[in-house]
Amino acid sequence: MNLCRFFIAITSLAIAFFFQSFAAADGPSDNDPRNVREIPPEGIAIDPAARQALLWRCKAIRTQWSSLKGEAVKLGDGVNAKHLEEIESEILVFPRAVEIALEFNQFYRTQDLAAASDLLDEATRRIAKVDGGAKWPEVVGIRSSNQPYTVIGGYKSKLDDSIQPYGLVIPPEYNNTGQQQRRLDIWFHGRGEKVSEIHFLTQQRKSTGQYTPPNSFVLHPYGRYCNAFKFAGEVDVFESLEHVKARVPVDPKLISVRGFSMGGAGCWQFATHYPDLWFAANPGAGFAETREFLNLFQNENVIESAPVHQQTLWNLYDCPPWSRNLKACPTIAYSGELDKQKQAADVMAKSLESHGVGLTHIIGPNTAHKIHADSKNEIERRMQSIERSPFSHSIPSKLDFTTYTLRYSKHHWLEILGLREHWKESRVQASLTNESLTVETHNVSELSFNFHSGQWIGPISEPIKVIIDGQTLSGPIPRSDLSWHWKLSREDNAWVPLGRNPERLMKKPGLQGPVDDAFMERFVFVLPSGQSDDKDLNQWVKEESTHAMTHWRKHFRGDIRQIRDDELTEDIVTNSNLILFGDHKSNSVIQKIADQLPVRWDAETIRIGNHSVPKAGHVPVLIHPNPLNRSRYIVLNSGFTFREYAYLNNARQTPKLPDWALIDITDQANSRDPGIVRYAGFFDEYWQPK
């Protein structure tokens, strides 16, 4: 009995220590931008011989794999060469995990060296399996089992060609012999400043996670480290999902999003921004918005410290303004009764109540920051009930969709193609009956209706009557395959069939800003080969471009695609956003397109719209469609815009610059800004300064 009490006491102390450590990272000690602790934190000292041995093994694995691929090419075995290319990421994810941990010294315990060695052993085993003719299921470890188990692997990202890790829980009913489609849950993990790729993959090998629903897959995306599944972390979720869907039979109508703590924040974001993609959402704890959360957890009055353009951009990821979208996504929130992060669900409940919706909120009794066992059972019972409901499989006849940006523009058979003004509430309500399609819009200038083959659920033998904002139009007759498509544009307060002038530059889905949006598609850093007249600018460009690339690798775990301006090719222009550093004198690409950008340099000043600064000691930052390829962006003089201070709390990781800014670089860059932001603003819907 005494021994039992001893273990209970030790466990209680451990839990208390954990939450004290957690709280220490969420409070006033992290509110001083002049004294920012490093994230990811510095690891332990590693014996040089051990370090060299790991690097040698990584190199040996890459060499062995290259030899295997080279042999297939040499033999002219195109089928095998293609297979090797497709499965390469499932092999090289392991040496890359070790290499990037060594690069940033992310070994935090002596056991991490053994974990790294185990991962390299797995890479070697997989190469042997591939060499023996094994295909993907056998290579990653699909097998017969009477218990759920996890396979781990990687995929090649479209953003930067980096190999990113994932974990996939396999249900015991699946052995790769049948093609019965199954439910898949996406599980967003919690915050972990020490969760390197080594740690993530090692944990995935050991644990199947919080939930293993029967006859279901569970995808565990890495999310590109510690960013609450925002920006490149958001892209990671979809890329890992598509990778997995191409390899196991997933029912596209039975995919859910779930998560806890930081993962709960990610879940709120995905549920409100992509409500039509999930049969259910199950956010636990986390945060749902910026202002109130940081006031509670950091004792930080961000209304006083954040400029207006940053507060405007909170609407990108803050979830309460988007909460109405949850009408289309069944949601079960969870919080511990004693957890401060219950605040997220309370905020969302209040917002939903204003739209006439009551939030289902399961509360773990007398529970802090964890999932109560009884609550877990109740949540899973409800998730399974939603899974079996007709709601999960039907095409809705009524839609009610809210957005603030064309980055998030689609909802079932509706897509918003243009807004009257970005970052203000934009809403479409649409209802389809046997007689007509009735639509009401707010702050929308262009939209389309897209019923694909077999999806049209209205009349089929006559033109479709569309009543939009009280105006009646006659739309096209549905096609024989039960498809129907129509685009409309608002001109002079009247809706007409869309006939946009292709030469007219407008914001559209995927090309709408702000600066950070350029890093959610494929991009390349383009550095100047020349020198500016301003020596301070030359030094700043060198330091800031290095900072941007280092932190892309360090914080978003990416690979660096970097060229000089004189190395730009047509292929890069076609397929990549260009991140241009320098000015019209130092960077030949900027010089080539300068007269087609909304920034002007003259002998004394730099001007954007009605705002100007002295040319000496200043630099423009902006995002704009590339004049050389209007389907891609250029960015001037910026990486992603939140910096070291924002790493300390995921709720701070919001865009810090809008579409353009004029920066004073005579003061050094700091943990918050690349210099002093003299002016900043948004372009209008035609990419002109307001």
User: CB atoms < 10 A from the CB of 550, how many?
Assistant: 13
Q: For the chain, how many helices (H) and strands (E)?
A: 17, 28
Assess whether 277 and 193 both reside in one domain.
yes
Residue 30: inside a domain: no
Residue 687, in any domain of the structure: no
pLDDT by residue (tens digit) across 24-49?
Answer: 456 788 999 999 999 999 999 999 99
Structural domains counted in the chain? 3
Between CA 507 and CA 686 the distance in angstroms is 6
Residues whose CB falls within 8 Å of the CB of residue 193, separated by 6 or more in sequence, listed in order: 25, 39, 40, 41, 226
What is the DSSP secondary-structure string of 486-542?
Answer: EEEEEETTEEEE----TTS---BTTB---GGGGGGS-EEEEE-SS--S-HHHHHHHH
Percent of the chain surpassing pLDDT 70: 96
**For residue 16, what pLDDT is reported?**
36
Average pLDDT over residues 591-616: 96
Strands 523-527 and 577-580: parallel
Q: Give me the mean pLDDT over the 347-373 stretch.
A: 97
Q: What is the mean pLDDT of the chain?
A: 93
Residue type, 145: S
Residue 530 has what pLDDT? 97
Shared-domain flag, residues 299 and 442: no
The single residue listed with the structure tokens 């709120």 is 268
Determine, yes or no, domain membership for 534. yes
Question: Are 367 and 490 within one domain?
Answer: no
Of 435, 465, 497, the position where a domain reaches its end is 497
Going by pLDDT thresholds of 50, 70 and 90, the confidence category of residue 390 is confident
Lowest mean pLDDT among 29-38, 65-74, 340-349, 463-472: 65-74
Task: Average the pLDDT over 650-671 and give the result.
Answer: 96
Residue 102 lies in a domain: no
> Does residue 172 sit in the same domain as residue 252?
yes
Residue 176: pLDDT band by 50, 70, 90 thresholds?
Answer: confident
How much is the pLDDT for 73?
A: 77
User: pTM, whole model, 2 decimals?
Assistant: 0.95
Question: Residue 393: is its pLDDT beyond 80?
Answer: no
Name the amino acid, one letter, at 613.
V
Say whether both 463 and 591 belong to one domain. no
Q: Name residues whose C-beta falls within 8 Å of residue 388's C-beta, 6 or more positions apart in sequence.
A: none
Q: pLDDT digit string (tens) for 113-139?
A: 999 999 999 999 999 999 999 999 999
Q: What is the pLDDT of residues 292-309, one digit of tens each?
A: 999 999 999 998 889 999
Which tens digits make up the pLDDT trace of 46-79? 999 999 999 999 999 999 999 999 888 777 777 7
* Same domain membership, residue 423 and residue 381: no
Say if residue 618's pLDDT is above 60.
yes
Residue 335 counted as domain residue: yes
591 plus 635 within the same structural domain: yes
Extended strands (E) in 89-205:
149-156, 163-170, 182-188
pLDDT of residue 173: 86
Give the helix/strand (H/E) hosting 490. strand 484-491
Over 80: is that where the pLDDT of 531 sits? yes
In this predicted structure, which of 58-62, 391-395, 486-490 has the lowest mean pLDDT? 391-395
> Is 402 within the bounds of a domain?
no
- Is residue 403 in some structural domain? no
Percentage above 90 pLDDT, the chain: 88
What pLDDT is recorded for position 457? 83
Residues 471 and 565 grouped into a single domain:
no
The DSSP code for 653 is -
3-state secondary structure of 622: strand
Half-sphere exposure of 199 (CA within 13 A, CB side): 20
Q: What pLDDT is recorded for position 4?
A: 42
CATH number of residue 240's parent domain? 3.40.50.1820
Location of structure tokens 């007249």: 533
Angstrom distance (rounded) from CA 559 to CA 522? 11
581 lies in the same domain as 607? yes
In this model, does residue 571 exceed pLDDT 90? yes
Query: Residue 630 above 80 pLDDT?
Result: yes
Dihedral pair phi/psi, residue 472, rounded to 5°? -100, 130
pLDDT, one tens digit per residue, over 251-263 is 999 999 999 999 9
pLDDT bin (cut points 50, 70, 90) of residue 5 is very low
Expressed as residue numbers, the domain containing 657 is 515-681
Give residue for tokens 């839990």. Answer: 15
The predicted pLDDT at position 78 comes to 74
Confidence of residue 80 (pLDDT cuts 50, 70, 90): confident
E strand intervals along 229-372: 250-260, 280-284, 332-336, 360-364
Q: Which two tokens stand for residue 415?
A: 């897509």
Q: What is the pLDDT of residue 458?
A: 80
Let me know whether 267 and 208 are in one domain: yes
Question: What pLDDT does residue 26 have?
Answer: 60
Q: At which of 393, 425, 450 does a domain end?
A: 393
Residue 53 and residue 133: Cα distance in Å, rounded?
Answer: 29
Q: What is the mean pLDDT of residues 639-656?
A: 97
- Mark whether 333 and 478 lie in a shared domain: no
DSSP β-ladder status, 562-564 and 523-527: parallel
- CA torsion sign for 92, 97, 100, 102 is negative
- Which of 335, 364, 393 is the last residue in one of the domains? 393
Same domain, 478 and 524: no
> Domain of 670: which CATH number?
3.30.379
Q: What is the mean pLDDT of residues 401-429?
A: 98
- Nearest CA to 636 among 690, 591, 571, 569? 591
Residue 2 has pLDDT above 90, yes or no: no
What is the residue type of 293? Answer: F
Q: Is the pLDDT of residue 167 over 60?
A: yes
In a domain, 68, yes or no: no
